[in-house]
Amino acid sequence: MSLDLTGDLVVLFRAVVDVESVSGNEGPLADLVEEALGAVPHLRVERDGDTVIARTHTGQAGRVVIAGHLDTVPVAANLPSRLDGERVYGRGTADMKGGVAVALACAAALSSPRRDITWIFYDHEEVEAELNSLTRIAAEHPDWLAGDFAVLMEPTGAVVEGGCQGTLRCQVTTRGVAAHSARSWLGHNAIHEAAEVLERLAAYRPREVEVGGLTYREGLNAVAISGGIAGNVVPDECVVTVNFRFAPDRDEADATAHCRNVFEGFEVVFVDFAPGARPGLDLPIAQEFVAAVGGVPRAKFGWTDVARFSTLGVPAVNFGPADPGKAHADDEFCPIADLFTCRDALLRWLA
Amino acid sequence: MSLDLTGDLVVLFRAVVDVESVSGNEGPLADLVEEALGAVPHLRVERDGDTVIARTHTGQAGRVVIAGHLDTVPVAANLPSRLDGERVYGRGTADMKGGVAVALACAAALSSPRRDITWIFYDHEEVEAELNSLTRIAAEHPDWLAGDFAVLMEPTGAVVEGGCQGTLRCQVTTRGVAAHSARSWLGHNAIHEAAEVLERLAAYRPREVEVGGLTYREGLNAVAISGGIAGNVVPDECVVTVNFRFAPDRDEADATAHCRNVFEGFEVVFVDFAPGARPGLDLPIAQEFVAAVGGVPRAKFGWTDVARFSTLGVPAVNFGPADPGKAHADDEFCPIADLFTCRDALLRWLA
């Protein structure tokens, strides 16, 4: 099969969704994207791992970066895609193959854009930050990411979402003493010990805070728990992996201190951190984009590579089809109307 | 290498310990046992999977069964064995390679026993009951297990332990609603929900009860916990695997009802059950054995295949070297003196 970038947008979207691309398995989809963009005369295409970058070189003043990740979280019996009225359901429909399909269609259509454009389709966004291919590319090919403004086509319900929350993961470990479970009084059960950790999480009341005119809402969640080595052994270790999503007014020191405070008395090890990004909507180039696409900007809750571009000095916003609240849900979907809204907005801005 | 059954007992014991035989990997040790027993003229040896059975056929009235399992729980950086004064440390030293070594030495030494003897060295005792090779052998070769009395050489500190507690495993599952962890308020965290399950386990006060003149002490423990599918997904399921060790006055209906009661309001599925065995020390043949080996019988806490023989109509007791309280502990060990005490007791009883 191959992707038809100039045909029906919904057909293209479903084709992209139906090529399963759970993090680590982006290869087949990246192959199709590379092949399709390679056939577009006005684009220069490069490939690095499973990331595909296509650029115009019209010589226009200024360059915008439009990026989307190819990977999804694990499939939950929700592939292939399913059309139901005005929605397409399936893994990746919300996060974020709608944005990928719109970007692919616009990349083919915008043969003479009013600014030069760098289109980026990348891998390993849904996993630890150090695996994210943009980490490698920022180190090895920083010029590929250079630009005056960036749009991340993460799901925003087709309105502009400014900034993003930061994210960190930590492991809270409880320890005990191993023993045969038939004589459990000789040991100390580390899993039972984790009751207090889970209680604190269940009782946690996340903060809401206004930053740069937008309201951010935090969250502290166990995303994994594991313990036990055999069915007849009192376990001596239990590990709760916690994900803290924090507003962009916190830096790393503040975010980690907050977690240490919540889990005071327990062993806490930080395993992953990605900073938030303040909205940045006061910048002229951001205001120009907002004016072109319309709507009232709001806060971005999910961590996105907006923060990465922000760190590289490239102002960036989120703008893409589908309700971000459906990202990763088993019943995630994309309203077909959002695909056209986003496509038309990009064409209006850049044609 | 090969096992020398007639040489130094401690050398034999350490050789048996140093062949790692975590459940599922009993093959190499079973090969050595089969080879060594096959060279003993007065034994007829059979092999079924990784179980080795050696029998005398002297025509003496009566037959006793002496059994031990070859497998251990997973290694915890405690192999190879280590000699420290009067103790040998290492995985399997307490549970139950001391019994295996004593049985091997006695099998070679007792060329003209006063009762016929069936020596059994079997696999998969430390895992689910349905994997235990005695389950298969009881179905396919019930004659191999036949006898007037059985001794399980599980660790008892070299005194007779009567009966055994029963064991069951159940899975207590909490459910939630999956969502992206950046918008956790749209989901419901199943791991947080498990706090109540762990609290009940931590607060549980196990019963002590007298059965047949011996005191049994129960235990209810989480032996595993798992939940979470990705580092940025609010998990919709968490499973706590619980092991209930119960006194032999409870039958299956009573034991499962007790667990349902403890976890009332949660989803409970029973995955494994093995009945307890009442002490049975009032039987004449049990009293004869106790008199021969000496000491004051006490209750057996761990589940052992005593219950299986009991179900097959073969009275059985536990008697073997090492402190059962050290079974499965990272620092498990066997006092060297126990090896000789048990060997001498068996020889005194059967020579």
A173-208 tens-digit pLDDT: 999 999 989 989 999 999 999 999 999 999 999 999
Predicted confidence band of residue A124 (pLDDT cuts 50, 70, 90): very high
Report pLDDT for B154.
95
Chain A, nearest residue to B167 by Cα? A182
Average pLDDT over residues A221-244: 96
Please answer yes or no on whether A329 and B202 come within 8 Å at the CB atom: no
Q: What is the pLDDT of residue B175?
A: 98
Interface contact A328-B178, CB threshold 8 A: yes
Quick one: pLDDT at residue A27? 97
The answer to whether the CB atoms of B73 and A232 lie below 8 A apart is yes
Q: Does position A35 have pLDDT exceeding 80, yes or no?
A: yes
Nearest to B300 by CA among B280, B272, B282: B280
pLDDT of residue A315: 84
Are B182 and A202 within 8 A, CB to CB? no
Q: Helix, strand, coil: what percent of chain B each, to 5?
A: 35, 30, 40
Residues of chain A in contact with residue B225, where contact means CB-CB under 8 angstroms, are 191, 194, 225-228, 238
How many CB atoms neighbour CB B287 within 10 A?
A: 12
CA–CA separation, B21 vs B28, rounded Å? 8
Are A325 and A304 within 8 A, CB to CB? no
Six token digits for residue B25: 């990997």
A42 neighbors A54 (Cβ within 8 angstroms):
no
Q: Is a pLDDT exceeding 80 seen at residue B285? A: no
Q: Which amino acid, residue B235?
A: P
Confidence of residue A109 (pLDDT cuts 50, 70, 90): very high
The mean pLDDT value for B305-314 works out to 87
Mean pLDDT of chain A: 94
**Full-prediction pTM beyond 0.80?**
no
Closest Cβ opposite residue B229 in set A74, A186, A187: A74
A231 and B225 in contact by Cβ < 8 A? no
Chain B residues with CB under 8 Å of A189 CB are 201-202, 221-222
Please identify which residue in the block is written with the tokens 């929605």: A87
| pLDDT band of B267, cuts 50, 70, 90 | very high
User: Which residue in chain B is spatially nearest to A186 when comparing CA positions?
Assistant: B325
Query: In the structure, what pLDDT confidence band is assigned to residue A288 with cuts at 50, 70 and 90?
Result: confident
Tell me the DSSP string of B262-295.
HTTTSEEEEEEEE--B---TTSHHHHHHHHHH-S
Instruction: Specify whether the CB–CB gap between B68 and B308 falls below 8 A.
Output: no
* Interface contact flag, A224 B227, Cβ < 8 Å: yes
Which pLDDT value is given to residue B310?
84
Distance, in Å, from the CA atom of B204 to the CA atom of A189, rounded to the nearest integer, reads: 12
pLDDT average, residue stretch A77-100: 97
Per mean pLDDT, which of A251-265, A272-286, A298-312, B56-70 is the most reliable?
A251-265
Residue A18 CA to residue B202 CA, distance in Å, equals 47
A-B contacts at Cβ under 8 angstroms: 227
- pLDDT attached to residue A163: 87
Pairing outcome for strands A87-89 and A237-246? unpaired
| Active-site entry in B26, B34, B71, B116 | B71
Pairwise CB contact (< 8 Å): B325 & A183: yes
- Report the alpha-carbon distance of residue A94 to residue B45 in Å, rounded: 65
Confidence of residue B117 (pLDDT cuts 50, 70, 90): very high
B140 is catalytic: no
Sole residue written with tokens 């062993």 = A267
Report the chain A residue with the minimal C-alpha distance to residue B185: A219
Total Cβ atoms within 10 A of residue A2? 10
Which of the residues A26, A71, A161, A305 is marked catalytic? A71
Conformation bin of residue B124: beta by default, left when phi > 0, alpha when psi is -120 to 50: left
Contact B231 A201 (CB under 8 A): no
Question: Does residue A25 carry a pLDDT above 80?
Answer: yes
What span, in angstroms and rounded, lies between the C-alpha atoms of A156 and A320? 5
Mean pLDDT of A168-176: 98
Tell me the average pLDDT across A16-40. Answer: 98
Q: Which of A90, A110, A81 is nearest to A5 (CA)?
A: A110
List of residues 6+ apart from B271 with CB closer than 8 A: B128, B169, B170, B171, B241
| Cα–chain center distance at A98 | 13
User: Is residue A125 annotated as part of the catalytic site, yes or no?
Assistant: yes
Out of A34, A50, A116, A125, which one is annotated catalytic?
Answer: A125
Residue identified by tokens 């798992």 is B226
Report which of A172, A169, A168, A167 is spatially closest to residue A226, judged by C-alpha positions: A172
* Helices vs. strands in chain A: H and E counts, helices first: 11, 19
Residue type, A55: R
Note the pLDDT of residue B229: 92
Query: Chain A: nearest CA to B316, how far in angstroms?
Result: 19
Residue A317, min C-alpha distance to chain B (Å): 17
**Residue B280 pLDDT exceeds 80:** no
pLDDT for residue B302: 80
Which of A128, A206, A329 lies closest to B179 in CB terms?
Answer: A329
Q: What is the pLDDT of residues A290-337, one digit of tens each?
A: 888 888 899 888 888 898 888 888 888 999 999 988 999 999 999 999
From A28's Cα to the closest Cα of chain B, the distance in A is 22
> What was the pLDDT predicted at B67?
97
Q: Write out the DSSP string of B221-248.
A: EEEEEEE-SSTTEE-SEEEEEEEEEE-T
Confidence of residue A283 (pLDDT cuts 50, 70, 90): confident
Beta partners for residue B234, in sequence order: B179
The tally of CA atoms less than 13 A away on the side-chain side of residue B252 is 8
Amino acid at B234: V
The phi, psi pair for B32, rounded to 5°, reads -65, -40
Give the confidence band of A285 by pLDDT, cuts at 50, 70, 90.
Answer: confident
Percent of chain A with pLDDT over 70: 100
CA distance B317 to chain A (A): 17
Higher-pLDDT residue of B277, B23: B23
User: Taking a C-beta distance cutoff of 8 angstroms, is the pair A51, A120 a contact?
Assistant: yes
CB–CB of B234/A221 below 8 Å?
A: yes
B288-295's contacts with Cβ under 8 Å and 24+ in sequence apart are B289/B149, B289/B151, B289/B160, B289/B317, B289/B319, B289/B349, B290/B160, B290/B317, B292/B345, B292/B348, B292/B349, B293/B160, B293/B319, B293/B345, B293/B346, B293/B348, B293/B349, B294/B345, B295/B158, B295/B159, B295/B160
**Cα Rg, chain A, nearest whole Å:** 22
pLDDT in tens, B199-258: 999 999 999 999 877 899 999 999 999 999 999 899 999 999 999 999 999 999 999 999
Q: Which of B183, B241, B324 sits opposite A231 (nearest CB)?
A: B241
* Inter-chain CB proximity A222 and B195 less than 8 Å: no
pLDDT at A21: 98
Of A126, A225, A303, the CB nearest to B230: A126
User: Which of A93, A204, A225, A270 is most worth mutating to test chain B (most B CB atoms within 10 A of its CB)?
Assistant: A225
CA distance A236 to A239: 10
* Model pLDDT, residue A294: 87
pLDDT tens track for B43-80: 999 999 999 999 999 988 789 999 999 999 999 999 99
* Closest partner CB to B195 (pick from A199, A219, A328): A199
* Nearest residue in chain A measured CA to CA from B178: A329
Chain A: give the shortest CA distance to residue B325, in Å: 7
For residue A117, give the 3-state DSSP assignment: strand
pLDDT of residue B282: 78
